[in-house]
């Protein structure tokens, strides 16, 4: 019996049905149902014997869904209804006791929070592995000079190790963001019921302990309507994918003949179907291109939640596809980045030749004048004039004569030529966080400590 006399229109059914994508919640839904059943025992809704049958029945459902060729039936609206149906087939009418004290509203919120917890941790683990690769590469290329860029114009020389570590720190911040998502998903909505709480005084904290939640939601209305943890995951995933896109983009440039700074391993490149000579950096291009869709996943969910009246609305069923898409995309990209970096080869000569451009010493010369008491703005203008002289006369800076220098400033003497001898430009960046060798050594040490903390975090969460 039901309130309805009519069957759903097939068009409505297709619109309303979420099993096509929420089947991925199955293991979480079953774990949750087992914990909920234990809660129902405590309040006397289930006997010991009934709890055992439900628990075993849910294990049967888990096994059945894992069977090859298993398919949902047309009447399965979503994963929660499907599990309920399968449990009924396994243990009969007793299955009907399980929905006591639970609504699909707090049930789905709890499943999704469990997904966010699991995959935030997975993202931290994968980011940690990529950080390890970057750190290894940075250590191996610690003292390889290369040009640093702004506006994609050669700006100042840096060590390749220093440049690679920039990505390490981006991922270190991503780890913090995923950690935030994990914490935000560690508040259990179950017990919120449809919106007002339920009539059974189930020990929510015991259920939360059972399921690995740190806290229980303080307000049932918020519990049923909150999807912030999805947004927190998507924000972390967006930032992380954006970072990988910048790395991908640089590798695309660097592996071109024009730059010739690096080469990807064949196993992360592809050929052309028409041009036999081609070796394309597809892996790096795809890192670049996957990122906007993750940001779009964020936009989809925040747009769906925007102005949504409390508490649950069917709109919220639309949180899952973007979430799953972002999970799949960011995990694939992090994993592939690690593999791609494992086989990358840098070309020391090309990097060094590009960083040997004397113009990159312009700031050094300005600072030389500052040391002689010239205000920096004035020094900047003097050096700008020298650069123009050199370009107009078709010479390099060091080919300017002492007389030509003096025309620009009385403070320019032998020290000018000294500064143009190269290593000094890099080694003068002794400041904390700078590219100078000693500062870089400190940075590498800090990176090791940061990585160790990430690893310890993962171990702790997994234990």
Q: Is 18 in the site for ligand ARG (CB under 6 A)?
A: yes
* Residue window 294-313: x/- pattern of binding to ligand ARG, with contact defined by CB under 6 A: ------------------x-
Out of 272, 396, 398, 424, the active site residue is 272
Residue 252 Cβ vs ligand ARG, minimum distance, rounded to whole Å = 39
Spatial distance between the Cα atoms of 341 and 332, rounded to a whole number of angstroms: 14
* Residue window 324-343: x/- pattern of binding to ligand ARG, with contact defined by CB under 6 A: --------------------
Contact indicator for 429, 439 with CB cutoff of 8 Å: yes
Residue 226 Cβ vs ligand ARG, minimum distance, rounded to whole Å = 13
Residue carrying structure tokens 């904290």: 205
Out of 151, 257, 273, 463, the active site residue is 151
Q: Which is nearer to ligand ARG, 25 or 400 (CB)?
A: 25
Q: Which is nearer to ligand ARG, 316 or 333 (CB)?
A: 316
The burial class, CB within 10 Å (0-12 / 13-18 / 19+), for 306 is: exposed
Spatial distance between the Cα atoms of 152 and 250, rounded to a whole number of angstroms: 10
151 is catalytic: yes
Q: Which residues contact 324 (CB under 8 A, 6 or more apart)?
A: 21, 24
Alpha-carbon torsion 301, 303, 307, 309, what sign?
negative
Alpha-carbon torsion 270, 276, 278, 279, what sign?
positive
The only residue of 249, 317, 329, 428 in contact with ligand ARG, by rule CB under 6 A: 317
Residue 16 Cβ vs ligand ARG, minimum distance, rounded to whole Å = 9
Site size for ligand ARG (CB under 6 A): 10
User: Which tokens sit at 395?
Assistant: 């010479």
Q: Is 106 in the site for ligand ARG (CB under 6 A)?
A: no
Three-state SS at 157: strand
Site for ligand ARG in 45-104 (CB under 6 A): 78, 80, 104
Q: Is 316 in the site for ligand ARG (CB under 6 A)?
A: yes
Residue carrying structure tokens 């003292």: 143
Q: Is 105 in the site for ligand ARG (CB under 6 A)?
A: yes
Q: Which is nearer to ligand ARG, 288 or 320 (CB)?
A: 320
Three-state SS at 369: helix
103 is catalytic: no
Q: Which is nearer to ligand ARG, 35 or 82 (CB)?
A: 82
Q: Is 111 in the site for ligand ARG (CB under 6 A)?
A: no
User: Which tokens sit at 375?
Assistant: 């205000």
Task: Give Cα 52 distance to the centre of its chain.
Answer: 41
Q: Is 182 in the site for ligand ARG (CB under 6 A)?
A: no
Three-state SS at 345: strand
The only residue of 108, 137, 231, 412 in contact with ligand ARG, by rule CB under 6 A: 108
Contact indicator for 344, 261 with CB cutoff of 8 Å: no
Q: Is 457 in the site for ligand ARG (CB under 6 A)?
A: no
Q: Which is nearer to ligand ARG, 103 or 337 (CB)?
A: 103
% helix, strand, coil for the chain, step of 5: 70, 5, 25
Query: What amino acid positions are annotated as catalytic residues?
Result: 151, 272
Residues that bind ligand ARG (CB under 6 A): 18, 22, 78, 80, 104-105, 108, 312, 316-317
């Amino acid at each position: 019996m039901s309130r309805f006399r009519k069957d759903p229109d097939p068009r409505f059914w297709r619109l309303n049905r979420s099993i096509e994508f929420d089947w991925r919640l199955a293991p979480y839904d079953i774990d949750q149902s087992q914990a909920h059943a234990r809660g129902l025992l405590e309040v006397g809704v289930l006997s010991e014997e009934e709890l055992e049958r439900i628990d075993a029945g849910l294990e049967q459902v888990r096994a059945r869904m894992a069977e090859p060729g298993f398919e949902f039936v047309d009447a399965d609206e979503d994963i929660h209804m499907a599990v309920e149906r399968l449990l009924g087939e396994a243990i009969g009418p007793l299955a009907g006791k399980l929905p006591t004290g639970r609504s699909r509203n707090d049930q789905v919120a709890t499943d999704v929070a469990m997904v966010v917890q699991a995959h935030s941790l997975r993202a931290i683990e994968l980011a940690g592995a990529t950080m390890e690769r970057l750190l290894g590469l940075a250590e191996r290329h610690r003292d390889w000079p290369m040009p640093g860029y702004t506006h994609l114009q050669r700006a100042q020389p840096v060590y390749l190790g220093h440049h690679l570590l920039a990505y390490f720190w981006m991922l270190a911040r991503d780890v913090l963001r995923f950690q935030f998502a994990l914490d935000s998903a560690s508040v259990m909505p179950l017990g919120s019921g449809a919106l007002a709480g339920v009539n059974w005084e189930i020990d929510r904290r015991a259920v939360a302990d059972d399921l690995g939640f740190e806290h229980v939601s303080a307000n049932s209305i918020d519990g049923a309507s909150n999807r912030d943890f999805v947004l927190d995951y998507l924000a972390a995933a967006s930032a992380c994918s954006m970072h990988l896109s910048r790395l991908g983009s640089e590798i695309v440039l660097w592996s071109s003949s024009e730059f010739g700074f690096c080469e990807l391993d064949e196993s992360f490149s592809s050929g052309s179907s028409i041009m036999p000579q081609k070796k394309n950096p597809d892996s790096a291009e795809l890192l670049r291109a996957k990122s906007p869709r993750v940001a779009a996943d964020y936009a989809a969910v925040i747009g769906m939640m925007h102005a949504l009246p409390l508490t649950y609305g069917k709109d919220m069923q639309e949180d899952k596809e973007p979430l799953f898409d972002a999970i799949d995309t960011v995990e694939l990209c992090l994993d592939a980045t690690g593999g791609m970096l494992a086989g990358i080869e840098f070309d020391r000569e090309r990097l060094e030749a590009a960083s040997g451009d004397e113009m990159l010493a312009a700031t050094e010369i300005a600072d030389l004048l500052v040391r002689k008491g010239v205000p920096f703005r004035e020094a900047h203008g003097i050096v700008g004039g020298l650069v123009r002289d050199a370009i107009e006369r078709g010479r390099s800076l060091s080919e300017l004569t002492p007389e030509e220098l003096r025309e620009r400033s009385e403070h320019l003497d032998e020290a000018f030529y000294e500064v143009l001898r190269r290593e000094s430009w890099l080694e003068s960046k002794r400041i904390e966080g700078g590219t100078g060798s000693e500062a870089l050594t400190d940075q590498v040490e800090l990176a090791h400590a940061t990585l160790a903390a990430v690893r310890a975090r993962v171990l702790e969460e997994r234990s």
